[in-house]
């Protein structure tokens, strides 16, 4: 379905971003990976994508730097010929009460979780408009729609990302470019697995008990979404069937928001 298209996926060397990159590659898209990790591991990930019959390149752009982001889109255009799909997935987290929240952590979270998406879209949108086709997918969160304590910066950034999604959707409404947000609840990534392991060690629980407690606080399905499921949602949003889904915030949250 996506043969001949090129996708840039930020924060895609692990977790949700990697799941999305793999799904897009399986649908035929050439991929630019971005993120951190040992170079040999990243080279192996690119090699795995190439086995799908697509091209894959890597760019180490720092998502907190606007100039790095602009250079990354230019690199993708030069190396792969174009940019048709962008998935703004890169994100970081820090938890603390508002009055104790470190200013540098606030600034970093807003920069990487929100401003980076603006810089990616700003750099890639002109060529999408010129070709009359594009897909912008912002990975927000259920926390883009509701809040939790001690996550001021993350919740603010994810709410802002949904606002940005709506504005871009309106500005591209009569074009072949769409912009939507996916809003996951708990997703089983290495980062979340570490939270489970830490909770189990701290509270003397089994891994299964810690997992149930984490899910039980918020996610009624008692099951994690997976990076693979988010990847398939991204592929669907790139399809013709989704061409009139515009400015949507699509929860994948196991009924979190239904409560």
84 lies in the same domain as 208: no
d(Cα 16, Cα 20) in Å, to the nearest integer? 6
Query: What positions carry a catalytic annotation?
Result: 154
Asked whether residue 40 is domain-assigned, the answer is yes
- Give pTM, 2 decimals: 0.95
Q: Are residues 68 and 31 in the same domain?
A: yes
pLDDT band at 84, cuts 50/70/90? Answer: very high
Confidence of residue 195 (pLDDT cuts 50, 70, 90): confident
* Cα separation values, 130 from 3, 76, 85, 134, 172, Å: 19, 17, 14, 10, 12
Domain extent, residue 207, equals 188-224
Widest pairwise Cα distance in the chain? 58
CATH of the domain at 22: 3.40.50.720
For residues 166 and 56, membership in a common domain is answered with: yes
- Same structural domain for residues 136 and 194? no
Q: Are residues 194 and 229 in the same domain?
A: no
Q: How many CB atoms lie within 10 A of CB 23?
A: 24
Average pLDDT of every residue of the chain: 96
Tell me the pairing of strands 6-9 and 249-252. unpaired
Claim to verify: residue 47 and residue 79 sit in the same structural domain: yes
Same domain, 207 and 83: no
Q: Distances from the Cα of 242 to the Cαs of 172, 236, 248, in angstroms?
A: 15, 7, 11
DSSP secondary-structure letter at 239?
Answer: S
Residue 110 lies in a domain: yes
Q: How many domains does the chain have?
A: 2
| Tokens linked to 220 | 């009624």
Per-residue pLDDT of 30-65, as tens digits, reads 999 999 999 999 999 999 999 999 999 999 999 999
Q: For residue 206, tell me if it sits in a domain.
A: yes
Tell me whether residue 130 is in a domain.
yes
C-alpha gyration radius of the chain: 18
Looking at the domain assignment, is residue 1 inside a domain? no
């Amino acid at each position: 379905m996506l043969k001949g298209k090129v996708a840039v996926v930020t924060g895609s060397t692990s977790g949700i971003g990697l799941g999305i990159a793999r799904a897009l590659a399986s649908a035929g898209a050439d991929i630019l990976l971005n993120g951190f990790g040992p170079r040999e591991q990243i080279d192996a990930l690119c090699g795995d994508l190439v086995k799908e019959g697509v091209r894959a390149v890597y760019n180490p752009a720092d998502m907190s730097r606007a100039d790095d982001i602009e250079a990354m889109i230019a690199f993708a255009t030069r190396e792969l010929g174009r940019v048709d799909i962008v998935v703004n997935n890169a994100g970081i987290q820090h938890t603390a009460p508002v009055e104790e929240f470190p200013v540098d952590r606030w600034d970093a979270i807003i920069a990487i979780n929100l401003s980076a998406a603006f810089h990616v879209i700003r750099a890639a949108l002109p060529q999408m408009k010129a070709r009359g086709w594009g897909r912008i997918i912002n990975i927000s969160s259920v926390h883009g729609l509701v809040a939790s304590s001690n996550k001021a910066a993350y919740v603010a950034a994810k709410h802002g990302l949904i606002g940005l999604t709506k504005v871009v959707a309106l500005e591209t409404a009569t074009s072949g470019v769409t912009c939507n947000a996916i809003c996951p609840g708990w997703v089983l990534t290495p980062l979340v697995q570490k939270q489970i392991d830490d909770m189990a060690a701290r509270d003397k629980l089994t891994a299964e008990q810690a997992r149930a407690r984490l899910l039980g606080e918020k996610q009624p399905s008692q099951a994690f979404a997976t990076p693979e499921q988010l990847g398939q949602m991204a592929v669907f949003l790139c399809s013709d069937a989704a061409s009139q889904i515009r400015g949507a915030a699509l929860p994948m949250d196991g009924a979190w928001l239904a409560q």
